[in-house]
Amino acid sequence: MNRITRGGLAVALAVALGGTAACSSDDAGAAGTVSITFSSYNYGTQGAAGTGTQALLDRFAKLHPEITVRPEAVPTADVLTKTKAAVAAGDPPDVVQIGYSKLAEALQTLPTQSLEQIAGDQWRGHVEGITPGPVEAGRWNGTVHALPYTISIPTVFYNADLFRASGLDPANPPKTMDEVRTAAQAIAKNGHHGVYFGIVDSGKSDYLTQSVIDSAGGALLDGNGRVAVDSPEAIAGIRQIQQLTADKLQPAVAPEDALSAFASGDLGMLVVSTAVLGNLQSAAKGKFELRTAAFPSFGTGPARPTHSGAALIVLSKDTAKQRAAWEFVKFLTSDEGYSLVTTGIGYLPLRANLVTGALADYLRKNPLLLPTIQQLGDMQPYRSFPGPKANQATVLLQDDAIAPIVLRGADAQATLHKTADRIRTLVGSQ
């Protein structure tokens, strides 16, 4: 497989899309007349997420020397609580990368600004062409307060060498959960871990939980907006993941340990966000052949993966900072910004024209994102629990139901019923 250094691609793409190689954000900031802060859970991290974010900052600094962006690193799980604390202290960040599992509560509890109003006449032309579902997810009080930034849907990463060694055909990866089980059994029989669904997310996100439940025919909320994580369909979907652990086909470990096992060549299939693509490419280089497949279907229905990732919100109330923040958000969600997000980090390109345009050559040489891109048509919108305690409800679901069921063998029906009742009480949904 033809692999290209992701950091080099990011710089090369920046040159191709609009100019010379970027200078560092620190150097450009010295000339800035407006300074804004950017709270990001990708910034400063190891691997592709950190280097890709820095490439975006460097490129923006080159294009806008009049604006200084001061990035602040914050853990994924803490971004909402830390932002709330900063707001309470009177020193909120100007722009925040906020995970979709936390967005609904953020819109209800933080002083988010209307991006439509800040952008004014630029709004319509800018958002035209962006995948509409995630844009609508950022609508609050009639206008859009959040634009999609780093978006992914879960994909199946698999070790083609382990497939061959286990008597499997890497050219025909599993398409259904039954086929996932069969492949995992063959890999386990060969002395390795079969599969790992990253459903117990360390960032306290439930995108994969929703993907499983939706694909099994259920939903986080029913048609009337009521909590439905304990429906028969939801229970059946979670049980399928639980059974993988019970049958020793899936290790009962944290996502970080599963990533390490896959990177070392001891795990056949890893079902997680494409956000880890860059790191997995680096880990696999020279060790094994890395391939990808689409999220599997459950039962007779089609696969219905739910998107994960983050949106961008603006909190600044200062007019000059708002204008600077919009320029930054506009760049990150532009053709060039989304292209750098894809090539530098591994998230999906959210403008359809990029797949056949600026990114066409990249995707031909680096086809690992293609199965996921081809599944965008089946992507389900991320759904949030109602009310200002939506994120607390998500953490409750993940910690009190999904983790004990999938990792520790708790009774799926009883645990989901109990947790769902607690969530209903928390969010006021009956």
pLDDT at 133: 86
pLDDT at 301: 85
**Pairing assessment for the beta strands 34-40 and 95-99 based on DSSP bridges:** parallel
Listed as ranges, residues in the chain with pLDDT below 50 are: 1-31
pLDDT at 29: 38
- Which residue from 17, 84, 19, 119 is spatially nearest to 344, judged by alpha carbons? 17
> 158: how many CB neighbours lie within 10 A of its CB?
27
Measured at the CA of 94, the angle between CA 310 and CA 203, to 5 degrees, comes to 30
**Could you tell me where the DSSP H helices lie in 247-313?**
255-263, 277-284
- Give the C-alpha separation, 5 to 13, whole Å: 12
Q: In the 8-state DSSP scheme, what is residue 225?
A: S
pLDDT at 31: 47
pLDDT at 415: 98
pLDDT at 170: 98
Judge contact between 112 and 315, C-beta under 8 A: yes
What is the C-alpha end-to-end distance of the chain, expressed in Å? 52
Joined together, the tokens standing for residue 230 give: 């304990």
Measured at the CA of 241, the angle between CA 240 and CA 246, to 5 degrees, comes to 90
- The residue type of 284 is A
pLDDT in tens, 238-249: 999 999 999 999
> 248: how many CB neighbours lie within 10 A of its CB?
13
- Give the C-alpha separation, 364 to 353, whole Å: 15
Tell me what percent of the chain is helix, strand and coil, each rounded to the nearest 5: 50, 15, 35
- Give the C-alpha separation, 96 to 110, whole Å: 11
Q: Residue 156: which region, alpha, beta or left (left: phi > 0; alpha: psi -120 to 50)?
A: beta
- Three-class secondary structure of residue 421 per DSSP: helix
> 202: how many CB neighbours lie within 10 A of its CB?
13
Judge contact between 211 and 294, C-beta under 8 A: no
